[in-house]
Structures are given as structure tokens and as C-alpha cells.
Amino acid sequence: MIKVHIGVDDVDSINGGCTTHYAVKLAWMLYSRGVKFLDYPNIVRLNPAIPWKTRGNGAVALRILVESEDSINDIWELASSTLDEYSGVFRDSKKQPGLILHIGDIPWFFKFIAEKALYDLVPLELVDRLLVKSNSTRVYSPSGRRGLIGAVAAVGCTMETSDHTYELLAYRKQEYWGSRRCVSEGSVIAVDREYGDYLILNYDYEYGRVLITPRGPDPVLLGLRGEDPIVLLEAYKKLEICEPVDYTCLFRTNQHTDAHLHSVDSICSIRPYMCVKVNGIVSSRPIRIPGGHVVFKICSGGCCIDVAAYEPTKSFRDIVEKLREGDLVEVMGCTRPPSSRHGLTINLEKIVVREVARVVEYVNPKCPRCGGTMESVGRGKGFRCRRCGYRDQYASKTPVYVERDLKPGIYEPPRIAFKHLMKPISRFGREKRVFSGVLVDGFIQRVG
């Protein structure tokens, strides 16, 4: 038996589909022909700051066992013709689908590209150059080659020993695409309460919002995310869904693992579009700018960078606003390039407040005669008591320590503001390091 890895990215249907949907159609065709899967289909989320992504910068890998070279040829023919059929004739230069099929063990450079694609920009030329050297990889890119970056990264990100989660995606019948999704809110809340920490970010209680249904016109009806495939299948059955479902598929994924956050020693090594975690000292008091974003600056190693908690992070901004100059923090997030209005800026996803600085404020002195508050008479002319008129030309402002309303700790935005890769604090300490390779029955189903 031969191991085969199929990677795909940047697929769009003429009707508005997406890469995972194409991958599920292909996976179902393979599964129903009796092909053995070595892993659940993988959704690999890549750098969320990539400017040319459509939504969540997701690529997909299918990992299967194949009997013979002939079967590989058939599968390759099936994958590429299905891609053509799915996407129609591409004239849109924004979409550059990439499909690869790799035979055998995964070469080092796939893993290298996967690691880099999570937190940085990967040049297409690099991927092209490395692919030329790989005799065991077939490549199909019918209109532009950019999708090959994600396709290679998906195959390279095996998550065999790194943290991962699961997502059960249910897909809509095409005639329902674009209409309101029919999933009962009450059932989402009930399932969330029943399965607790086994599920991830289903409902935002603070803002009363269902989080498992996307908003756009895409074919995804819902995505139930969690820690365990069996629990997901069980929980899914309890959801009240009032529209027909086309397919369901359990994916293994790097979602909600913070895999995109690359530790850097100094702010000086941060480039645009990088996703980082970095320590720094707050060097400017946070301000709320028009649009509701809260912005401050941190410095380390002789370099400084802007940090922004954007408006969609809602109540998180109130915590960020409590920072003061001198606080020692670790910030996590991806960078936006500088513009005429702001410098290189980290879009804040989480913050660790390591040390809260002692903040001193200078206040007018108290009157030594009557205890009233004194006021300045003028620059260099001393102070006078408002109440009794006592005057002291040598008095000066008195330093007082401000009581800080911020404790050291880790802070995150509300659930509503979470993006695919962001790890909720509730997952800290629950990271998985192994994948057993055993798949549950019915991990992919054609319902309709």
C-alpha cells in the first residue's frame, strides 16, 4: 500500500463555494469507492494576515492509502477533473487554485513551508523552486499558481505531534446557499451547556450570538468545533436543524491552537504580515481613536510597535485601556503594514500582563493650616489654599501612587471576536500532542 497526500487551496466555485467544500466532495468520492483514509481530512488554517485570502485562509489535506500506481493515476485524474468542474473556467485572477498529490513520506521542505506559512509571507517562487525538486509530487494549477503555497503547507502540516482540534462541518444543499441558515439557537445553547469544554466557542453568552453558523453565502451550514470527534458526532445529532443537509465531514485541524503565533525576542525582528508573540514595555498610554479602536505602543530591544485592540473586540478594549506606561506585557497577534495614518501595528488577539508598573501622579498639596486643597498661583510662584488663603511660595505638587485597576494575568476578547486560529484561554493546558490515527465510523457522510 502506498501513502498519498492530496493538498488543495484557493478553490472557489463559480457559484461561490470554497476549498473545504471541494475537498469534501472529493473525499466523499474516494471514501465511497473504498479508499482508506489515514487521517480525517485536515483543515489547515494559515497566516490570517495574508492580504489575498478570502475568508479564513484555510487549506485542506487528504491523507489516504492507495493500492497501486494505477489507482494513484485514477485519483489524480479524479481530483483534477473535479477541481475543473467545481470551479468552472477561471478568469478571475484573484483565485489561483492549487492542487498537489504527493506520494510517500513527506519531504522536509513541505514541513518548512507549512511552519512558515502559518506566521509569515511565503514567496511563491520558493514553493515553485522546491516543488521542481520533488519527483514524487504532482502539481495542478489551472490558472495562476498561488494556491500551491497553501496546498503544500496543508500537506506539510501533519499535526502528528502538535496540538489540534476537530470541526464537524455540515454543508447546505446548493438551492439554500445565500439564504438564512436554519439552526435553532436554543439547541446550540443546550448542546453547548451539555458538552462544555469538549466543544469550542459555540455560543457567545455575553453578546447572545450563535457562533457555529457562518454569515456569508458559502455552502457551509455550520461548523461544530471541539476536542473529540465522537463527542462532536453526538453533539451534532442533538442540534435542531431545519433545512436539508448535503454532506457532513469531521475534520482534524489546527484551529484554536495559536499555531500561528511565532515567538520573537525583540520587536525589531517583526515584519509586516507576521503573526507574533512578543514581550515589551508599554510606552504610551492607550487611547481610544475614532472608530472605537484602542491603540498603544510597546517597545523592546530598542524598537517600538503600535498595538491595536480593534472595535470588534468589544469589552476587551476596556481592559486594554487600563494599561499604563511602564507595564510589562506580552502581546499576541498579526501585524498590519504601516500606512500614512499609523505605524506597523499588531492586531491584538490576547495579552499577558506580566508586571503592572507603579504609576505616580502629581497632585496639588494639602494646606498645612486648614487641610484644604491648595492651588497653583502661577509658574514658580508657589501655592495658595482655596479655603483659608494660606500661601506658600516654596510648596510643590506631591507625588501619589495611583491605585491600578489591572492585575497581572492573561486577557482575551469575547468569544464573538475569535478568529479561526485563536486559542481560547480555556484550552490552555488541554493541548493534544498525539493523534492515534484511528478514525470514527461515519466521519464523512452524504446525507442528501
Least distance between ligand ATP and beta carbon 9 (Å): 4
DSSP letters along 13-68, please? -TTS--HHHHHHHHHHHHHHTTPEESSPPEEEE--TT-TT-SSS-EEEEEEEEES-
Strands (E), 173-325: 203-204, 209-210, 220-226, 245-253, 262-263, 275-288, 294-300, 303-309
Report the residue number, 157 or 351, with the smaller CB distance to ligand ATP.
157
Report the residue number, 144 or 382, with the smaller CB distance to ligand ATP.
144
- Judged by CB under 6 A, does residue 167 bind ligand ATP? no
- Judged by CB under 6 A, does residue 258 bind ligand ATP? no
Least distance between ligand ATP and beta carbon 146 (Å): 4
Least distance between ligand ATP and beta carbon 178 (Å): 15
Q: Which of 12, 167, 192, 258 binds ligand ATP (CB under 6 A)?
A: 12
Closest CA to 392 of 418, 411, 366: 366
Q: Phi and psi of 421, rounded to 5°?
A: -85, -15
275, amino acid identity: C
Closest CA to 37 of 3, 11, 86: 3
Report the residue number, 116 or 297, with the smaller CB distance to ligand ATP.
116
Least distance between ligand ATP and beta carbon 362 (Å): 49
Distance CA 95, CA 97 (A): 6
Q: Which of 53, 111, 322, 404 binds ligand ATP (CB under 6 A)?
A: 53
- Judged by CB under 6 A, does residue 357 bind ligand ATP? no
Q: Which of 58, 223, 226, 333 binds ligand ATP (CB under 6 A)?
A: 58
Cell numbers describing residue 198: 469538549
Q: Which of 5, 7, 13, 19 binds ligand ATP (CB under 6 A)?
A: 19
- Judged by CB under 6 A, does residue 126 bind ligand ATP? no
- Judged by CB under 6 A, does residue 10 bind ligand ATP? yes
Distance CA 203, CA 319 (A): 22
- Judged by CB under 6 A, does residue 56 bind ligand ATP? yes
Residue the block writes with cell 500537506: 155
Least distance between ligand ATP and beta carbon 355 (Å): 34
- Judged by CB under 6 A, does residue 18 bind ligand ATP? yes
Q: Which of 6, 62, 122, 307 binds ligand ATP (CB under 6 A)?
A: 122
Question: How would you classify the pairing of strands 303-309 and 98-103?
Answer: unpaired
Question: Which secondary-structure segment (H or E) carries 125?
Answer: helix 124-132
- Judged by CB under 6 A, does residue 221 bind ligand ATP? no
- Judged by CB under 6 A, does residue 326 bind ligand ATP? no
Q: Which of 13, 42, 57, 248 binds ligand ATP (CB under 6 A)?
A: 57
The region of 145-153, 208-216, 342-350, 383-391 touching ligand ATP under the rule CB under 6 A is 145-153
Per the CB < 8 A criterion, the answer to whether 163 and 377 are in contact is no
Report the residue number, 98 or 365, with the smaller CB distance to ligand ATP.
98
Distance CA 199, CA 233 (A): 11
Least distance between ligand ATP and beta carbon 194 (Å): 30
Centre a 10 Å sphere on the Cβ of residue 324 and count the other Cβ atoms it contains. 18
Report the residue number, 116 or 277, with the smaller CB distance to ligand ATP.
116
Instruction: State the binding string over 74-103 for ligand ATP (x if CB under 6 A, else -).
Output: ----------------------x-------
Least distance between ligand ATP and beta carbon 96 (Å): 6
Cell numbers describing residue 447: 446525507
Per the CB < 8 A criterion, the answer to whether 307 and 276 are in contact is no
Q: Which of 2, 14, 36, 52 binds ligand ATP (CB under 6 A)?
A: 52
Least distance between ligand ATP and beta carbon 43 (Å): 9
Q: Which of 8, 131, 149, 221 binds ligand ATP (CB under 6 A)?
A: 149
Packing angle of the helix pair 108-119, 147-156 (nearest 10 deg): 110
**Dihedral angle of Cα 219, 224, 226, 232, to the nearest 10 degrees:** -110
The region of 10-18, 169-177, 248-256, 366-374 touching ligand ATP under the rule CB under 6 A is 10-18
Distance CA 199, CA 235 (A): 9
Residue the block writes with cell 478570502: 54
Site size toward ligand ATP (CB under 6 A) is 23
Centre a 10 Å sphere on the Cβ of residue 123 and count the other Cβ atoms it contains. 11
On the 0-12 / 13-18 / 19+ scale of CB atoms within 10 A, 69 is: exposed
Alpha helix stretches (DSSP H) within 269-369: 316-320
Least distance between ligand ATP and beta carbon 23 (Å): 10
Binding site for ligand ATP (CB under 6 A): 9-10, 12, 18-19, 46-47, 50, 52-58, 96, 117, 121-122, 146-147, 149-150
